[in-house]
Structure 1
């Protein structure tokens, strides 16, 4: 069997349940591990039907970090497969209060899930309320190979190849603000760089383990730029209301072998270096842009209030 990834567009609770209930029930009848991630109201509706047969997962924690979602679900599916079981997951993404650039990255994730989980035989259904903004609904139509209509799953004629959809997400990044602190990096001795990031992070209330993770991530990206990019290698650091941003740029035109570099988990045969997958796991959202004008990697670390 192969991965099943279904979009569920719905107008109301009745339409939601018409597809969600048989989807989850099929998993229970097949003795699969069945999980549901949705809002409190619809979780209550599912509990009325299934009680504790289904495992209910808090949506805010599940959707806190995109790369860790992929890692967690892939681990669950591979672990279950080792025990001769499958995983069935109903997961309703949380779109409220996300800025446009962040929404794009979460939609990219919906596309690349089809590649990251391709080696599994899990089943994933993603509900989308029809009142969501049109860019979200348009993305849903393009990122799911199947769609639920009238309670039945069918092939989705609007589905787009994940690599093509990911390329559509690569809109130019905004320019770093004038207040950003800039450091030109010349050598692999990164003590000055680490000191700058540390001082800037602490000034914005970031310390301890999150700071350590950020330093590891920035060091990895800068080391890669020094080894494979084209000078000058620049680090820019600045703060926003809710995040600390570190951007590494060089003049090299990197051509990644995979769409959305760093979104797909590494294979056992890959390089032992940390790579962008680990950078994404360590930090918040990471944006990568590359082209004839150079390569930019922007790391966004949330600031807790």
Structure 2
């Protein structure tokens, strides 16, 4: 086995799911590896019941909450778990894509799956990713063969003939965002001295949408961080657009920069990685972050549930 192993598990019913996931967890515990189970809803309840005898060798997390924004799964769930067990190989069951995920969320989910391969390159870990092949959009299941080096189906493990590498696979999901509504409120900025006005604009938009208290301030903080990134790294300033969709406040920040590091916002910055703190923070506090970037243009769209 390579240092990092990232298989996808295709399941068609509950029996398939339990057979693949519990065998994986039990084998990892038997090998002395700490195990993280991060899956959504009913699947989490089932696995808690099935693995109760393993005690504190297994840590559980509700992916519908911890991974509601796919952009925070790598830093806030997977890397955080590995960091709690330095010097040890770790194992995780991570299910970031489930049937009720929306089409708006999906490109960020698929990009996350691809970028796990880059974020964990050389790390002693295994991340098993279950896919509900019976209920997911068939195109989403097909994508799993492009984002995972290995696939498991009916108990058989085989290399994916369509996998290349994580960065190449993720590039397929760097897709243009849906159009901004004509009625969106907008604010332009060019310099650091305007950041107080940016925050006032964002706070007013949050209040008007009914996003109050700490959630409203999280939104203001995320918008401010992205605007500050524009001023620091992109030419010509930027434009903020906000509007509401059913059940959510949406904000898009557009500027003339280009994000060349696909892991920006997913890996905590270090001395070897310039920038990224603003996008990392936005991923932490927002319910969804979508990005489209190309030379001379970057659009980052923040979603906050109301």
Q: Which residue is equivalent to 1:22? A: 23
- Alpha-carbon distance in 2 for matches of 1:7, 1:197: 40
Deviation at residue 113 of structure 1 after TM alignment: 1.0
Instruction: Provide Cα deviations, 1:147-185, integer angstroms capped at 9, x if missing partner.
Output: 114424332222232222222112211221111111221
Instruction: Provide Cα deviations, 1:194-247, integer angstroms capped at 9, x if missing partner.
Output: 111111101111122222222222122212222332325222111112221222
2:186 to 173, 182, 186: 182
- Alpha-carbon distance in 1 for matches of 2:121, 2:162: 19
Cα contact 1:261–1:288 (8 A) shared by 2: no
Structure 1's unaligned 5+ residue stretches are none
TM-score norm. by structure 1 comes to: 0.87
Q: Which residue is equivalent to 1:155? A: 159
- Alpha-carbon distance in 2 for matches of 1:33, 1:281: 25
- Alpha-carbon distance in 2 for matches of 1:231, 1:50: 56
Instruction: Provide Cα deviations, 1:7-29, integer angstroms capped at 9, x if missing partner.
Output: 11122233334433332221121
Q: Which residue is equivalent to 1:40? A: 42
Range 142-151 or range 106-115, more displaced: 142-151
Cα contact 1:201–1:244 (8 A) shared by 2: yes
Deviation at residue 143 of structure 1 after TM alignment: 0.9
2:224 is the counterpart of 1:219: yes
Instruction: Provide Cα deviations, 1:256-299, integer angstroms capped at 9, x if missing partner.
Output: 33225423332343346733223222323222223356322222
2:131 to 119, 125, 128: 128
Aligned pair in 2 of structure 1 residues 46, 150: CA closer, same or farther (>3 Å)? farther
Q: Which residue is equivalent to 1:6? A: 7
Q: Which residue is equivalent to 1:90? A: 93
- Alpha-carbon distance in 1 for matches of 2:231, 2:182: 25
2:72 to 56, 63, 68: 68
SS of aligned partner of 1:206 = coil
RMSD of aligned alpha carbons: 2.5
Cα contact 2:3–2:125 (8 A) shared by 1: yes
1:203-214 correspondence to structure 2 within 5 Å: 203-214=208-219
SS of aligned partner of 1:57 = strand
- Alpha-carbon distance in 1 for matches of 2:46, 2:300: 41
- Alpha-carbon distance in 1 for matches of 2:51, 2:206: 48
Q: Which residue is equivalent to 1:115? A: 118
2:166 is the counterpart of 1:165: no
Structure 2's unaligned 5+ residue stretches are none
Deviation at residue 94 of structure 1 after TM alignment: 4.3
- Alpha-carbon distance in 2 for matches of 1:272, 1:226: 13
- Alpha-carbon distance in 2 for matches of 1:213, 1:197: 10
SS of aligned partner of 1:100 = coil
2:202 to 197, 201, 210: 197
Aligned pair in 2 of structure 1 residues 90, 273: CA closer, same or farther (>3 Å)? closer
